[in-house]
Amino acid sequence: MSEKPSNLPVNSDRLWGTILETATFGATPKGGVRRLTLSQEDRKVRDWFKAACEAAGCTVTVDALGNMFALRPGRDPSRAPIGLGSHLDTQPTGGKFDGILGTLAALEVVRTLNDAGIETEAPLCVANWTNEEGSRFAPAMMGSAAFVGDFTVENILGRKDAEGVTVKEALEAIGYVGAAPVGSQPFEAFVELHIEQGPILEAESKTIGVVEHGQGIVWYDGHITGFESHAGSTPMPLRRDALATFSQIVLAVEAIARKHGPDAVGTVGEVTIANPSRNVIPGEVNFTCEFRSPHAEILKSLETDFAAAVAEIAAGRKGVTVEIEQVWRKDPTHFDPKVIGAIREAAEGLGYSNRPMVSGAGHDAFNLATRMPVAMIFVPCKDGLSHNELEDATQADCTAGANVLLHTVLSLAGVANAA
Ligand SMILES: [Zn+2]
């Protein structure tokens, strides 16, 4: 095995060109992208991506949930491929970089290796995961979740969007029901490049985040039952006010997350009053709540404290009941030391400033990490802004991320020959 070409860079302008070109599929007036999963815009970018991968010499397969895999052969076909990629779907008012950078940088890695005449020992496999965003169909990250067996394929195919269209119907409508069984694509390891979607790298003027952990998450649905009665004639001591009870819970969530900070966050993101009226005391309130932490023991404490706070608040409210149901729980993700090490070495070798990081957002890589060695690379995004049309990242930072991806992949796959 020859020496790896230690400073080989990706083609920065070509990478940037693909980001701008694919941003036309679902472009919004404010410069963002609206490309809901399995929509016609998603079909367009998928067709583009498939053609680009095939033109780069890859064989593209699609599985029964529309997950796409572009295989570049290696010298040693007995090894499973090193996976790289992310997602091409966006939020309803999303940006040009979330997920897209990781997928297009993976394509750029293949193109760069082709140009340099480099064959790797292990094959490479560029992936585009279906419905990472979760805005059209729940759950988010469903393609990778089913891939690792968290959901059955039938379960996912039956999920409906707001119009009642199922995943199965949406896949058929855009021609992306693939023949490959979900979960059948082998990977030796997986590397996902992504924008940070947070403010840390930018604030510290660091170029590369070496992501070592992903936050654990608990989701709750809450239901408060009081009693609807006249806002004018019900004296204060006799009220069974569901909304006033809810307000205590919101403040408790904030206090609990602060108490376990800085590595804990808690959010009440949705609330509905069942029959809102300005002169009726709210009798029924439904809400959601979530907590996140990268530490398993903190996540457990958040759960315990939340349950205790809810019980205490309910006990102090005569005639009001509070039910909370935990609807989802994911333990913190700890990425693979070998893949983390390869990313750090690649960043160091290329002279990029870097720091270890925790991912605040969820990613396909978290799902994959339950089945294979995985880690992630972050690059800065402007003002930490994401899931927004104004999401922005510089060409230099995107290129740096792609270069680190290239050299991480080379280190994991091994170089068979260098021109
Ligand atoms: Zn993403």
pLDDT digits (tens, 9 = 90+) for 269-284: 999 999 999 999 999 9
**From ligand 1's centre to the CA of 25, what distance in Å?**
17
The partner residues of 211 in beta bridges, in order of sequence, read 357, 376
User: In this structure, are residues 256 and 309 in contact, taking their beta carbons and an 8 Å threshold?
Assistant: yes
> What is the rounded average pLDDT of the residues 338-357?
98
Quick one: pLDDT at residue 327?
87
Beta carbons within 10 angstroms of residue 239's beta carbon: 19
C-alpha neighbours within 13 Å on the C-beta side of residue 256: 27
- Cα(311) to ligand 1 centroid in Å equals 36
Q: Residue 70 C-alpha to ligand 1 middle, in angstroms?
A: 19
Q: How far away, in angstroms, is 363 Cα from ligand 1 center?
A: 6
Task: Give the pLDDT confidence score for residue 3 in this predicted structure.
Answer: 44
Token duo for residue 355 = 């720091």
Question: Over 80: is that where the pLDDT of 295 sits?
Answer: yes
pLDDT range class, residue 360, cuts 50, 70, 90 = confident
What does the pLDDT look like over 154-174, one tens digit per residue? 999 999 999 999 999 999 999
pLDDT grade, residue 419 (50/70/90)? Answer: low
Tell me the CA–centroid distance for residue 134 and ligand 1, in Å: 10
Query: How many A from CA of 205 to the centre of ligand 1?
Result: 22
Cβ of 146: how many Cβ atoms within 10 Å? 28
> Does residue 230 register a pLDDT over 50?
yes
Residues of the chain with pLDDT > 70, as a percent, come to: 99
Mean pLDDT in residue range 100-110 = 98
Q: Does the structure show a pLDDT above 70 at 322?
A: yes
What is the Å distance from ligand 1's center to 99 Cα?
4
Whether 129 contacts 366, CB under 8 Å:
no
pLDDT over 90 (residue 361): no
CA of 240 from ligand 1 middle (Å) equals 43
Mean pLDDT of 227-255: 97
Over residues 83-111, the mean pLDDT reads 97
Query: In terms of pLDDT, which residue wins out, 416 or 104?
Result: 104
Q: What is the DSSP letter of 343?
A: H
How far is ligand 1, taken at its centre, from the CA of residue 292, in Å? 18
Query: How far apart are the CA of 91 and the centre of ligand 1, in A?
Result: 9
Tell me the CA–centroid distance for residue 283 and ligand 1, in Å. Answer: 39
**C-alpha 248 – ligand 1 centre gap (Å):** 33
Q: Which of 69, 10, 40, 63 is nearest to 174 (CA)?
A: 40
> For residue 246, how far is its CA from the centre of ligand 1 (angstroms)?
32
Residue 4: the pLDDT is 53
Distance, CA 403 to ligand 1 centroid (Å)? 19
Ligand 1 centroid, distance to 131 Cα (angstroms): 10
Question: How far is it, in rounded angstroms, from Cα 387 to Cα 42?
Answer: 17
C-alpha of 369 from chain center: 13
pLDDT tens profile 127-160? 999 999 998 998 899 999 999 999 999 999 999 9
Distance 132 CA to ligand 1 centre (A): 7
- The reported pLDDT for the residue numbered 126 is 98
How many whole angstroms from 309 Cα to the centroid of ligand 1? 33
Query: What number is the average pLDDT over the span 43-66?
Result: 98
Six-digit token string for 256: 């609990």
Q: In angstroms, what is the span from residue 362 Cα to ligand 1's centroid? A: 8
What rounded mean pLDDT belongs to the chain? 96
CA of 97 to the centre of ligand 1 (A): 8
- Give distance in angstroms: CA of 193 to centre of ligand 1: 10
- Ligand 1 centre from 50 Cα, in Å? 20
Using 50, 70 and 90 to split pLDDT, how confident is the model at 80?
very high
Lowest mean per-residue pLDDT among 83-87, 103-107, 264-268, 414-418: 414-418
Average pLDDT over residues 281-300: 97
Work out the burial of residue 384: count CB atoms within 10 Å of its CB; fewer than 13 is exposed, 13-18 middle, 19 or more buried: middle
More confident residue, 5 or 415: 415
Is it the case that residue 417 has pLDDT exceeding 90?
no
Q: How confident is the model at residue 2 (pLDDT cuts 50, 70, 90)?
A: very low
pLDDT at 261 over 50: yes
Give the E-state strand segments of 73-188 in sequence order: 82-86, 119-120, 124-128
Peptide bond into 262 cis (omega under 30): yes
From the CA of 364, how far away is ligand 1's center (Å)? 8
- Please write the tens of the pLDDT for every residue from 176-190: 999 999 999 999 999
